[in-house]
């Protein structure tokens, strides 16, 4: 299944059915009068967050969604049938944007959350509504209200507790494969990861979701490389794990490049808690890894650990640090909600 995180859709709600002009005509019934029914309501267009989806690829093949129109009214005061609604089923974490691709209409972050995208038109009144003492045989009825037509953008931001950042070939995919059942592509050339990958981590009896995104390079926020297209997938993360390649010829420059790109992107990424670790330390001696860690700390780089995702060295310690930050973030989110609850 291909990954797609941005797509355009066209939606239109149903128009209301027109009212009916009708008169009661029965033998031996004097003064029958008007009996035209109302038109039915047009169908609405909804978006709903559902389980089991992590891509918008379905909207690549179907982009137009039109709700049914309401049926016209009929004689004997019969109201027309309402048009059927249509529901766009999207993954949890989908943002719905207006045509300008900037105005956020809704952010579906919870399972089962629904939002009305286009309201159906009301049905028109039949001539029965226009009867009065001075107009006992009205020959007019209202047309139904037209439906609403909109062009919208759907943008998916994956729901993950922690995110991996770093330059290409920093070992992010290897780390993800080592700690989860995810099987991302791993190779010895840059940009082997072309789309985000998710994996579920289990540590000390607890689970959390870890996201791996394509590597950043200098100028990514301006569109270089794969650009900043996938950075939105870690905006919802509680903590970031910044992996630095310990075998790089310019370890300090690599760190500063990623930090600069996070700051240039915005979205609060530079303010998120970030755990910095040296990766690929199995290629160094223990003394070399220790010396490099000390050197980076003297330059202001807050290196926490020296690890190796491929060899499993120090991996559990990193996962425990991530879990601590995630638990702290969840407690902070719960506190305002619990403060607003009333308990007898």
Instruction: Return per-residue pLDDT of the chain as tens, 344 residues.
Output: 467 889 999 999 999 999 999 998 888 777 788 999 999 999 999 999 999 888 899 998 999 999 999 999 999 999 999 999 999 999 999 999 999 988 999 999 999 999 999 999 999 999 999 999 899 889 999 999 999 999 999 999 888 899 999 888 888 888 988 888 877 666 555 555 667 888 889 888 888 999 888 777 766 555 565 656 678 888 889 999 999 999 988 999 999 988 988 888 877 888 889 999 999 998 888 899 899 999 999 999 999 899 998 888 889 999 999 999 999 888 887 765 555 554 44
Of 95, 122, 156, the domain-final residue: 156
pTM of the model: 0.80
Q: CA of 128: how far to CAs of 5, 25, 72, in Å?
A: 51, 14, 14
Q: Helices in the chain by DSSP H: which ranges?
A: 58-61, 172-179, 251-265, 286-298, 315-339
Asked if residue 182 and residue 111 are part of one domain, the reply reads no
Of 108, 123, 156, the domain-final residue: 156
Asked if residue 181 and residue 49 are part of one domain, the reply reads no
What pLDDT does 344 receive? 43
What pLDDT does 342 receive? 47
What pLDDT does 18 receive? 96
Binding-site positions for GTP read: 166-173, 191-195, 212-215, 279-282, 308-310
In a domain, 272, yes or no: yes
Looking up residue 145, the CATH number of its domain turns out to be 2.70.210.12
The count of structural domains within the chain is 2
Binding-site positions read: 166-173, 191-195, 212-215, 279-282, 308-310
Return contacts of 255-262, CB within 8 angstroms, 24+ apart: 255/296, 255/301, 257/167, 257/216, 257/217, 257/218, 258/165, 258/166, 258/167, 258/216, 260/218, 261/216, 261/217, 261/218, 261/220, 261/221, 261/228, 262/165, 262/216, 262/231
What are the structure tokens assigned to 288, written together?
A: 């070399």
Binding-site positions for Mg(2+) read: 173, 193
What pLDDT does 303 receive? 92
Residues of the domain holding 52: 1-156
Asked if residue 151 and residue 166 are part of one domain, the reply reads no
Asked if residue 146 and residue 258 are part of one domain, the reply reads no
Of 156, 189, 217, the domain-final residue: 156
Measure CA 338 to chain center: 26
Contact 198, 217 (CB under 8 A): no
Looking up residue 335, the CATH number of its domain turns out to be 3.40.50.300
In a domain, 21, yes or no: yes
Asked if residue 235 and residue 142 are part of one domain, the reply reads no
Asked if residue 316 and residue 194 are part of one domain, the reply reads yes
């Amino acid at each position: 299944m291909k990954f797609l995180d941005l797509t355009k859709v066209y939606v239109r709600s149903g128009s209301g059915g027109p009212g009916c002009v009708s008169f009661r005509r029965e033998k031996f019934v004097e003064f029958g009068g008007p009996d035209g029914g109302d038109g039915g309501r047009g169908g609405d267009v909804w978006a709903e967050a559902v389980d089991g989806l992590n891509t918008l690829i379905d909207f690549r093949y179907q982009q137009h969604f039109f709700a049914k129109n309401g049926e016209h009214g009929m004689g004997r005061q019969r109201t027309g049938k309402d048009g059927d609604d249509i529901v766009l089923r999207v993954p949890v974490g989908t943002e719905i944007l207006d045509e300008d691709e900037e105005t956020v209409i809704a952010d579906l972050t919870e399972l089962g959350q629904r939002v009305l995208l286009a309201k159906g038109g009301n049905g028109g009144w039949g001539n029965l509504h226009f009867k009065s003492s001075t107009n006992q045989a009205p020959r007019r009825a209202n047309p139904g209200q037209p439906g609403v037509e909109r062009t919208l953008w759907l943008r998916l931001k994956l729901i993950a507790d922690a995110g991996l950042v770093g330059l290409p070939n920093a070992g992010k995919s290897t780390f993800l494969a080592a700690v989860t059942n995810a099987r991302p592509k791993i190779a010895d050339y840059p940009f082997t990861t072309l789309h985000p990958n998710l994996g579920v981590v289990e540590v000390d009896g607890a689970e959390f979701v870890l996201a791996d995104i394509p590597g950043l390079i200098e100028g990514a926020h301006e569109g270089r490389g794969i650009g900043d297209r996938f950075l939105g997938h870690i905006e919802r993360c509680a903590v970031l794990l910044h992996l630095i390649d310990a075998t790089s010829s310019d370890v300090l420059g690599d760190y500063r490049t990623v930090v600069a790109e996070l700051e240039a992107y915005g979205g609060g990424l530079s303010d998120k808690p970030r755990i910095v670790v040296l990766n690929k330390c199995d290629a160094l001696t223990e003394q070399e890894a220790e010396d490099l860690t000390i050197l980076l700390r003297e330059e202001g780089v807050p290196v926490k650990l020296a690890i190796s995702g491929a060899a499993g060295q120090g991996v559990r310690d990193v996962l425990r640090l991530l879990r601590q930050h995630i638990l702290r973030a969840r407690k902070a989110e719960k506190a305002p909600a619990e403060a607003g609850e009333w308990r007898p």
